[in-house]
Amino acid sequence: MPKKYHVHTKATPLDLDYIFKFQIVRRENCINCGKCTKVCIYEAHKRRIDDPRKMADPNTVVCRNCFRCIQECPRGALEKSLNKDFLNIGGAYWKADMLLTLWKQAEDGKVPVTGAGYRGPFTGTGFDSMWTDMSEIVRPTRDGIHGREYISTSVELGRKLNHLEFGENGRLLSTIPRTIDLPLPVIFDLPEAGLSLNVKAAMIKAAVDLGTCIVLPVAQITADFERSLDNLIPCLAPGEIERHQALLEKARMVAIDYSGERPEDFPAVKARIENVCEALTILRLPAVEAMEQTVSKLAHSGAEIIHVIADYRGRELGGSSTSTPRLIKDIIRTVHMRLVADRIRDEVTIIASGGIAMAEHVPKAMLCGADLTAVDLPLLIAIGARLYEQPERFLVFPPGLEGISVEILTQRIVNLMGAWHSQLLEVMGAMGIREARRLRGETGRAIFFEEIDNDTFGKLFRKKEVASI
């Protein structure tokens, strides 16, 4: 049994003005009786230090929405509402609550656990329109994340042969292609442009600590970072291959921006890469209409790893005005099914990215058919960034970010990924799947809303209407 993969999390708060959800205002008819101080178990209400006869303004950052102060104030002098900042952050995809929980996970590295049942909508779009399955009784030797059993979250990148060929005397003729093992089905995608050096350094260090990789534009890989080259994936255009020979010779993987290139040109590009280095090639492809055909052609022409990239809300790029853009969940499913139909699925690794925003998106993307995922925005949210979707995609970094140490920023990214890793174990444990590799395309362990709703309510209610006509 391989050594158990462990992410070392550690509480790492940032001294920032966090956005909070609930705003409490004390009205003028407060009589400073101090009842709120007695009833609040979170210490949101205190007397003023300079003048203890009066109540201080409520510290609503700590408010957990229990309503005790509201309901027990003898004068009804306290008013609560949703904080304006909270209402403004995020958007339809990156919901404000999602940002709060990402910040929390980056701070403590723990699986978010709360009381009371699920509070959200019944179903939604994309990843919200599926559930993961579980096994009830029949399965020995596991205790979820608290248990004795080893659940492996590692995945392999690279080409696998469809079959082996043997010559006379049983001699193996096939050359087994090299693959790379990552302990976590997550890589870090190209960082935002214009990040300060400490942030970039923290992302690289976090990738190293976690044993995963980060895609970096080749121009940004300075001599400082070359020590971490095992965990760096230089990203470049096909025309730049020869120019960066020295770097590529030392890299394990190289990412080629293949947007705008033709699939039939790939064998030539591959030959040029093989000419300068032994790195595995990741082809970066924007998720556009009918991309499954491009993926299929590339896989047939020998592509090893294909990275399907949707927009930051997990939608198809450059969608036509006539059709609604597909969502990453459905794009992955289509790509996967196309490769299965072509009988070439095992020969190519699919990375999915765009809209991977929560821990649950990792196993869900894999159930839909991705081998692994790539994340970008959650890493920035981990270091305290605020994301706005309206009026357009906009990131606000915490003030003084440049001055925060690389260690602290690294730990926050590690914490977030540690929390995601634990949550992946929870979901896999419940499913009874012990190897992350077996999640891929395992739709038998998923429940899709459209299918089950139609199978249940569609059958019950639609037919009857037709019959009665």
Partner 1 sequence: MIPPTVKIRRMSSRFKHQVPKYKVIRSEACINCGTCAKTCPYGVHERVDGHNRVRPPIDYKCIGFECQSGDFYCVAKCPRQALSLAPNPMYETLGDPRWTADMITGTWIMAETGYPPKRTDLEYNLGNSGGGFDKLRFKFPANPAKVDKAKISTAIPLNRRNDGREDVVISTPVYGGGMSFGSVSLPTMVSRARNATHWNSFTCTGEGGYPEALKPYDDHVITQVATGLFGVREETIQRVKIIEFKYAQGAKPGLGGHLLGEKNTASVARMREAVQGSSLFSPFPFHSVYSIEDHKKHIDWIKEMNPRALVSVKVSTPNDVDMVAVGSYYAGAHIIHIDGGYGGTGAAPDIAKKNIAMPIEYAITKVHNFLKEEGVRDAMTLIASGGIRTAHDLAKAICLGADGAVIGTAEMVALECVRCGNCESGRGCARGIASTDSELADLFDEEWATQRLVNLYHAWNVQLVEILQQCGLSSVKELVGRTDLLEHVDYSR
234-273 residues near partner 1, rule: CB under 8 A: none
140 binds partner 1 (CB under 8 A): yes
Positions in 339-378 near partner 1 (CB under 8 A): 358-360, 364
Q: Where are the alpha helices (DSSP H) in 130-236?
A: 197-210
- Single out the residue of 13, 52, 76, 267 in contact with partner 1 (rule: CB under 8 A): 76
Assigned token pair, 150: 């080893």
CB 247 within 8 Å of CB 221 = yes
33 binds partner 1 (CB under 8 A): no
Between 25 and 396, CB nearer to partner 1: 25
462 binds partner 1 (CB under 8 A): yes
147 binds partner 1 (CB under 8 A): yes
Between 120 and 194, CB nearer to partner 1: 120
- Bridge partners (DSSP) listed for residue 327: 315
Please, what is the minimum distance in Å from the beta carbon of residue 449 to partner 1? 8
134 binds partner 1 (CB under 8 A): yes
42 binds partner 1 (CB under 8 A): yes
Candidates 1, 4, 9; CA nearest to 111 is 9
Binding window for partner 1 (CB under 8 A); candidates: 112-120, 178-186, 271-279, 329-337:
112-120
CB 425 within 8 Å of CB 152 = no
Candidates 300, 303, 298, 304; CA nearest to 344 is 300
Give residue for tokens 């923290």: 202
In this structure, which amino acid lies at residue 134? M
Candidates 392, 386, 381; CA nearest to 417 is 381
90 binds partner 1 (CB under 8 A): no
119 binds partner 1 (CB under 8 A): yes
- Single out the residue of 34, 91, 112, 238 in contact with partner 1 (rule: CB under 8 A): 112
Query: Which H helix or E strand runs over 301?
Result: none
399 binds partner 1 (CB under 8 A): no
- Single out the residue of 11, 31, 41, 271 in contact with partner 1 (rule: CB under 8 A): 41
Please, what is the minimum distance in Å from the beta carbon of residue 467 to partner 1? 11
Pairing of strands 180-182, 186-188: unpaired
- Bridge partners (DSSP) listed for residue 373: 186, 352
- Single out the residue of 95, 430, 434, 438 in contact with partner 1 (rule: CB under 8 A): 430
- Bridge partners (DSSP) listed for residue 388: 90, 394
Binding window for partner 1 (CB under 8 A); candidates: 63-71, 184-192, 265-273, 296-304:
63-71
Positions in 288-327 near partner 1 (CB under 8 A): none
- Single out the residue of 22, 225, 312, 397 in contact with partner 1 (rule: CB under 8 A): 22
73 binds partner 1 (CB under 8 A): yes
Cβ-based burial of 184 (10 A; exposed 0-12, middle 13-18, buried ≥19): buried
DSSP one-letter code for 325:
P
68 binds partner 1 (CB under 8 A): yes
Give the C-alpha separation, 248 to 280, whole Å. Answer: 10
Please, what is the minimum distance in Å from the beta carbon of residue 89 to partner 1? 16
- Single out the residue of 79, 226, 264, 278 in contact with partner 1 (rule: CB under 8 A): 79
Radius of gyration (C-alpha) of the chain in whole angstroms: 25
Please, what is the minimum distance in Å from the beta carbon of residue 253 to partner 1? 30
Q: How many CB atoms lie within 10 A of CB 312?
A: 17
Please, what is the minimum distance in Å from the beta carbon of residue 65 to partner 1? 4
DSSP one-letter code for 279:
P
Between 48 and 463, CB nearer to partner 1: 463
**SS3 state of residue 426:** helix
C-alpha of 38 from chain center: 42
Binding window for partner 1 (CB under 8 A); candidates: 114-122, 215-223, 346-354, 377-385:
114-122
Residues in the chain: 469
C-alpha of 203 from chain center: 15
Please, what is the minimum distance in Å from the beta carbon of residue 125 to partner 1? 11
